[in-house]
């Protein structure tokens, strides 16, 4: 198989996903099929071909560092699953 179950679990862990045993098998099969197909890219000689990360070439978009139109802190926190005293609350880290 193109991608092993261990690799799926490793990648899932990198991506902060939790995958149960039944799904590991299914994902390994499906992603493996897709990767086999992606291997067709190897047939193309790309020696010396530059990479394109964006189709439209733009120079840097600079602007003055001015404060304007900021979100109200209350609005910014409105969707937080948990909040307290104007801050996001997360599970204890230390």
Partner 1 sequence: MKLHELTIEQAGGLLKNKEISSVELTRAVLARIEAVDGKVGAYLTVDADGAMDQAKAADQRLAGGEAGPLTGIPMGIKDLMCTRGLRTTCASKILENYVPPYDATVIARLKAAGAVIVGKLNMDEFAMGSTTEHSGFQVTRNPWNLDRIPGGSSGGSAAAVAADMCLGALGSDTGGSIRQPASHCGVVGIKPTYGRVSRFGLVAFASSLDQIGPLGKSVTDCAIMLDAIAGHDPKDSTSVPEPVPVFADIDVDGLTGVTIGIPREYTAAQGLDPQVGAAVAQAVKTIESLGARCVEVSLPHTDYAVAAYYVIAPSEASSNLARYDGVKYGFRDKEQADLLQMYRSTRSRGFGPEVQRRIILGTYALSAGYYDAYYGKASQIRTLIKKDFAAAFDRCDAIVSPVAPTPAYGIGETLDDPLTMYLSDIFTLSANLAGIPGLSVPCGVSDDGMPIGLQVMGRHFNETMLFKVARQLEAQIAINDRKPNLE
By CB under 8 A, name the binding residues for partner 1.
3, 7-8, 11-19, 23, 27, 30-31, 33-35, 37-44, 46, 49-56, 58, 60-61, 63, 71-72, 75-76, 78-82, 88, 90-93
- C-beta of 54 vs 65, nearer to partner 1: 54
Work out whether strand 87-88 and strand 83-84 pair parallel, antiparallel, or are unpaired: antiparallel
- C-beta of 18 vs 21, nearer to partner 1: 18
Nearest to 12 by CA among 4, 58, 49, 90: 4
Where does residue 28 rank: exposed (0-12), middle (13-18), buried (19+ CB within 10 A)? Answer: buried
CB of 24 to partner 1, least distance (A): 10
């Amino acid at each position: 198989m193109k991608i092993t179950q261990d690799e799926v679990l490793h990648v899932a862990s990198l991506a902060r996903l939790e995958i149960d045993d039944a799904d590991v098998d299914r994902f390994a099969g499906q992603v493996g099929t897709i990767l086999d197909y992606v291997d067709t890219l190897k047939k193309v000689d790309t020696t010396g071909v530059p990479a394109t990360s964006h189709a439209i070439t733009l120079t840097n978009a600079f602007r003055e560092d001015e404060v304007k139109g900021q979100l109200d802190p209350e609005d910014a926190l409105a969707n937080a699953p948990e909040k307290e005293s104007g801050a996001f609350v997360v599970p204890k880290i230390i």
